[in-house]
């Protein structure tokens, strides 16, 4: 069965060599989803410009290194604040979610947080 290129964007780097998913590779995929929610970008950019990366985690990492803060989140995310039932979305909130997402997308599986750590961090961010 062939997988779409978009589905490939959720795969942890170590799954290129291995076939079986693990908790660590699932955490990587969760990190990619968090980055998608923040940025509004697809996990794989099929037509990157010369200064962009193909994979979303690498693109985001490069945006931080290049001080391109505007690339880290979609501007519309701040518009959610107009809803009364929503959690206030501030730049601090975005930064905390971004930091968690990037920890989940660490190239080294042993450095990624486990699911309990992710849940604890999300609870801290949300409340």
Q: How confident is the model at residue 2 (pLDDT cuts 50, 70, 90)?
A: very low
Query: Residue 66: what pLDDT?
Result: 84
CA distance 127 to 123: 6
Question: Average model confidence (pLDDT) for the chain?
Answer: 83
* For residue 1, pLDDT beyond 60: no
Give the predicted TM-score (pTM) of the model.
Answer: 0.79
119: left (phi over 0), alpha (psi -120 to 50) or beta: alpha
**3-state helix vs strand vs coil in the chain, percent to 5:** 60, 0, 40
Q: How far is CA 100 from CA 39, 69, 70, in A?
A: 14, 16, 18
pLDDT for 105 equals 95
Instruction: Give yes or no for a contact between 13 and 107, defined as CB atoms under 8 angstroms apart.
Output: yes
Residue 118 has pLDDT above 80, yes or no: yes
All structural domains of the chain: 21-126 (1.10.510.10)
pLDDT band at 74 (very low <50, low <70, confident <90, very high): confident
**Is the model's pLDDT at 3 over the cut of 60?**
no
Instruction: Name the token pair of 41.
Output: 């970008």
**7 neighbors 1 (Cβ within 8 angstroms):** no
Per residue in 75-109, pLDDT tens? 777 766 655 666 777 888 888 999 999 999 999 99
Which tokens go with 89?
A: 């979305």
């Amino acid at each position: 069965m062939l997988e779409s290129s978009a589905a490939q964007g959720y795969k942890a780097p170590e799954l290129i060599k291995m076939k079986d998913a693990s908790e660590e590779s699932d955490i990587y995929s969760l990190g990619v989803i968090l980055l998608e929610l923040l940025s509004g970008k697809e996990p794989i950019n099929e037509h990157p410009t010369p200064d962009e990366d193909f994979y979303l985690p690498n693109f985001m990492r490069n945006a931080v290194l290049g001080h391109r803060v505007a690339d880290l989140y979609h501007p519309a995310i701040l518009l959610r604040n107009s809803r009364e039932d929503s959690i206030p979305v501030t730049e601090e909130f975005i930064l905390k979610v971004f930091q968690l997402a990037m920890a989940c997308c660490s190239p080294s599986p042993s450095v990624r947080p486990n699911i309990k750590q992710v849940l604890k961090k999300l609870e801290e961010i949300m409340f």
